[in-house]
Amino acid sequence: MKSFLDDLNDRQKEAVEQTEGAILILAGAGTGKTKTITYRIANMIENKHISPFSILALTFTNKAGNEMKERVKGLIGEKAKKITISTFHSFGYSLIRLYYPLLKLKENIVIYDTDDQKKVLEIINKKYNILLYIPFETKEIISIFSNIKEMEKDTDDISNFMYSTYLKELYNYYQLYLIEHNAIDFADILLYTKRLLENEIVLSKVQNRYKYIMVDEYQDTNNIQFQIVSMIADKYKNICVVGDENQSIYGFRGANILNILNFETNYNNAKIIKLEENYRSTTTILDAANELIKNNKSSKDKKLWTQNGKGDLIKVLACDNARDEVSRIIEIIKGNHQNGIAYRDMTILYRTNAQSRVFEEGLLRYSIPHKVFGGISFYSRAEIKDIIAYLSIIVNPQDELNLQRIINVPKRKVGEKGIEKIITYAKENNLNLLEVLSHIKEISGLTVVGKEKLLEMYDIIKELRDLSYIETASYIVQTLIDKIKYIDYIKENYDDAEARIENIDEFKNSILELENVVGELRLNEYLENVSLISATDDLEEKSDYVKLMTIHNSKGLEFPIVFLVGFENEIFPGSRAMFEEKEMEEERRLCYVALTRAEKKLYLSHTAIRFVYGQDRLATPSVFLKEIPEKLLDVEVKKERLYFEDDEFSDNDIELLDEVIKSFGNKTAKELVAYTHNEESLWNKTAKENKVLNLLENETINSTNLYLNLADLVANDPRKKAIYEDYIEQF
């Protein structure tokens, strides 16, 4: 008899040995959940002599399933292959393929993903023009249809909408299309699985095959998944679910936390086993997480503890603004690395993807290797690249690469063959692609609509090119987005439109932020700046880099050092949560997940001012910070700048610089000299910076140059450098 208990703690042993009946394993963060599950399966087969054929283990991701398979195989060898370890959708689809005639389907079933679903709706709309009467985006319609199926609703359930008649009609057309093409969508997989299990013969076969059921991440199950599991387990009642109610963070995807909270009600005599010994974090971090989550009514009084020792206090960085936040975190990262800590041991977590931008910029500026996980880096995101491509063409009409990128963005009814014709015409007539657009009516083989839209595109670029000489970069960007109706394009073509629009807002914000510092900024100047920022290294080959990701993407992972940034109200928790208890509880669970990712050190950063939508807004520390006892926190207040009586520069320096920038951005040296020697000039009254004028004598003055030259001037004087550090750091 093989022992699978020797390296387990008491609670883990209890979970492994308990094989019969209903069992709920409440596995807190870092408590060895996966180890417990795999040891339990191995013990069932090796020591309890339970057939591997009779075990069904359901997961949410292929990654989790594969990891479980590999671990079990490592314990019991080839027997592991006989166990059914599968995602809910894979398991369901295997049943559908086996019993498809009962669902009136044909043999070769096609699964439609989200893109396919959108295309189906477009096809239906071309025929019936029905979307005109439904005030929803395509992704919202798909979500409504999925909800109807997964909640097993009738279309009558949406009759309270004044446009419900059209929505019902569209749903019926959609379903008819799927039937005609022998297709199913992902919601259908779960719905049809349940329908098959409602057949007594099918249910009996499935129940007799799978006498032991295990479900991982049970807190993430939705209603129909709950029903599927309940039906299979109903005969033998040998069901073991593993999860953590405090890590239920997918309510927006339909996860129902009540499934785990009501387990004891749904299964009489259910055994509850709590895994509370954490192997990941320090006592300080766990105490903070425990104190935070106890404010949730949904928490089942689980308290994490560890033998890892007290560890460092949680460092709270109270920053002036976003750039200060970035600067201080980078300073810590650089200091850690100099002290022998690898970049890969440091991770930056944020609430939304848009927050990554300022940190990516900062890390690039200081040549710190980094990688964005669970998405792509800010300036590599499709919507940002689209806008930058347009801006590049406005500045440089010869930029054919970028023109090819956006010639059909937004959609202009120009296919690949049409683009080939345009390129051919350009070569034959020795024109660049932008010039060709002004001759578009001369090119045969293009649709009338396509020609009209391309000519419209040309007119927009030409107009904005003329404006770019007199208007600011931020004005050009906003005008461009409005004229090409880019937000509408995003809403119509992307499921994650909301996140992409957030990124666009953050992009606009980054320009306004820069203009706020340097004064008026022309488009060509901005593009010079952004080209350096967006020039990314091939980080894939580097094993040592700082990781950046959303908290949602960090679930299930762990990192030695964690920076949780933007820890302030209206970011984390979001503004909606401030007025809804249910939303607030989910946000608090998300915060709990974030805190428990950290192994050794945890930093929480917030700002006093946050630059949002073109203006500075007062920001307040997250309400969650107040829920963590002060004794666990080390609040680092920024040191005041030092001023010296004998310093060449006056105390009014900052005000002075702002005045000069405001009045003389992009002026000649001669004009600036005239201004500075005017008796009424603030500069003349309070300062002696003629050295700066000497440095700039033959140059055009702009704010960037001014700051850079000031930096050179004070480089060897620590006292003056301390005064100017905030200005200098930005360049």
Please state, in angstroms and rounded to a whole number, the distance separating the CA atoms of residues 539 and 638: 33
Contact 489, 411 (CB under 8 A): yes
DSSP string, 673-716: HHHHTSTT-HHHHH---HHHHHHTTTSEE-HHHHHHHHHHHHTT
- 521: helix, strand or coil: coil
| Cβ partners under 8 Å of residue 378, min gap 6 | 353, 354, 356, 357, 360, 372, 384, 503, 506, 507
Which single residue is written with the structure tokens 């992704």?
Answer: 139
DSSP-assigned letters across all residues of 204-262: HHHHHH--EEEESSGGG--HHHHHHHHHHHTTT--EEEEE-GGG---GGGT--THHHHT
Alpha carbon distance 562, 155 (integer Å)? 47
Instruction: Please enumerate in sequence order all residues whose Cβ is within 8 A of that of 360, keeping only pairs 6 or more positions apart, or say none.
Output: 370, 372, 377, 378, 379, 533, 548
Find the radius of gyration of the CA atoms of the chain.
31
DSSP collapsed to 3 states, 542-561: CCCCEEEEEHHHHCCCCEEE
| Residue 171 exposure: Cα atoms within 13 Å on the Cβ side | 23
Q: Which residues pair with 85 in a beta bridge?
A: 57
Query: Cα–Cα distance between 9 and 181 in angstroms, integer?
Result: 54
Would you name the residues annotated as active-site residues?
A: 33-34, 216-217, 247, 597
- Looking up tokens 């259908």, which residue turns up? 188
DSSP letter string over 367-383? T--EEE-SS--GGGSHH
Angstrom distance (rounded) from CA 432 to CA 420 = 14
Cα 7 from chain centroid? 37
User: What CA–CA distance (Å, rounded) separates 422 from 418?
Assistant: 6
Buried b (16+ CB within 10 A) or exposed e, 308-331: beebebbbbbbbebbbbbbbbbbe
- End-to-end CA distance of the chain: give it in Å, rounded: 68
Amino acid identity at 609: I
Please say whether the beta carbons of 390 and 396 come within 8 A.
no
CA distance 189 to 522: 53
Gap between the Cα atoms of 294 and 284, Å rounded: 16
Residues whose CB falls within 8 Å of the CB of residue 543, separated by 6 or more in sequence, listed in order: 344
Which residue bears the tokens 């890892």?
Answer: 308
